[in-house]
Structure 1
Amino acid sequence: MGMFSRINDIVQANLNAMLDKAEDPEKIIRMIIQEMEETLVEVRSDAARFIAEQKTLNRQLLAVNKEVNNWQRKAQLAMDNDKESLAKAALVEKHKYVDKAAAINEQLTQLSESIEKLQIDTARLNEKMREAKQKQKALITRKQTVSARLKVKTSQNSTKIDDAMMRFEHYEQRIDHLEAQVEAYDLPEKTVSLNEEFADLERDETIENELAELKKSKVA
């Protein structure tokens, strides 16, 4: 059956190899899981159909077996009444139903084998899907980890830039200070105005006068 070969292809698929070759592993794993989920839906649908057919065949088999027993009873009744030809005819009818029962039993055997194989393959497919989902989770975790590390690295680089700018500003301030010192040396010496010179003379004269008065008072 096509379904069985499809399941086998999925189960036998090497997920690691597929993901290693993929340009976008996260996208590929999503597609793989989606394919598995769709296949599981089809498998369950086929299993339900097989089980329904099995129930129908079992009902048919029950009815056919009743006919086998019925014609067997009629053949026995005819023989008991010394009607051999009638008994023979009853046995012919009985074997028609015996053949039908054999055909139904063969169909039931095939259905049972198909249902059993579906159960086994469904278990394998579920296990494979669990593996795929674990890999998907691992991929997501790796992506989040890398994103977090990249964010940290970006933050570190930003800090380095800030530090560099602060150092640059510090160097600018030092240069400004040095330039100010140079400019200070270039300033002209302060000149004394004429008024200030007379004020100094008057102050000196006042002091000399007061000093002379002190000397006179000492002599007296």
Structure 2
Amino acid sequence: MFRFFKRMKTVVSSELNAMLDKAEDPVKMLDQFMREMGDEIREVESAVAKQIANEKMLKRKADDASAMVEKRQNQAEKAIEAGEEDLARRALQDKKEYEGQESSLHASWEQAKNDTEVLKSKLDEMKKEYQQMQIKKDSLKARAESAKTRTRLNRTMSSIGGDESKQGFERMEEKVMRFEAEAETSEDLKQASRTLDDEFKKLDNDVDDELAALKKAMGKE
């Protein structure tokens, strides 16, 4: 399991460019890697818990065997004092069997204790690496999101003022100029359509206005 965890760390550290080349979403892939690392840690935590339980069980059995050795020794001494040599012999024989059990159980407990320490050490190392990779993942995710944002921004900016937009503006400008030309033409046509009578009427209106102004000035209204 620990070797697999190391491999996962290598993937996250060295294969980001490969993911990008394959058009994989690095953010989703990093999250997937972290989930797999978390699963590995939980497996090791479970193994450590079982190992600790096994160690405690062996220690308890070894202590029980040691207690029986001491008990049979005391019983053998009491039997001798009571003149019960046969009973003392049986107690010493049973004591010898418990001594064998104690020795075997103690050796097993020592091995289990060493195995527990190794697993604990590996678990601590895995957790530290996981924390480091979590920080690196957050950094890589931020960089990936920043790169995506810059790409979207650059694409948007490059589209502004592009050929299509410029052509659209030019078409609208030409259309406005055409409207202006049509308005000027209609004014010219209006002027050209005025009759000779209209011109004299305007002239008469101008003389009447001038005469009224003169009379007013001379107080002859």
Fold conserved (TM > 0.5)? yes
Partner of 2:17: 20
How many residues align? The count is 192
Contact 2:41 2:126 in 1 (8 A): yes
Relative to structure 2, which stretch is displaced further, 59-68 or 116-125? 59-68
Q: How does 1:1-220 map to 2 (within 5 A)?
A: 6-11=1-6, 13=8, 14=10, 15-22=12-19, 23=22, 24=24, 25-80=26-81, 86-161=87-162, 164=166, 165-170=168-173, 173=176
Structure 2 letter corresponding to 1:92: Q
Q: CA deviation at 1:26?
A: 3.0
After TM superposition, give the deviation of residue 117 of structure 1 in Å. Answer: 1.4
Q: Percent identity?
A: 20
Cα distance, 1:85 vs. partner? 5.1
Change in Cα spacing, 1:91 to 1:156, as seen in structure 2 (3 Å) is same
Q: What is the Cα deviation at residue 180 of structure 1? A: 9.2
What TM-score does the superposition give when structure 2 sets the normalisation length?
A: 0.67
* Bigger Rg, structure 1 or 2: 1
C-alpha distance in structure 1 between counterparts of 2:38 and 2:196, whole Å: 107
Q: Displaced runs of 4+ in structure 1, greater than 6 A?
A: 175-181, 190-197
Q: CA RMSD in A?
A: 3.7
Output the CA distance in 2 between the equivalents of 1:118 and 1:46.
Answer: 8
Structure 2, unmatched stretches of 5+, are 205-221
TM-score w.r.t. the length of structure 1 is 0.68
- Judged with a 3 Å threshold, the aligned counterparts in structure 2 of structure 1 residues 195 and 174 are, in CA distance, closer, same or farther, namely closer
Matched residues in 1 for 2:172 and 2:155: separation? 23
- Note the C-alpha offset of 1:192: 10
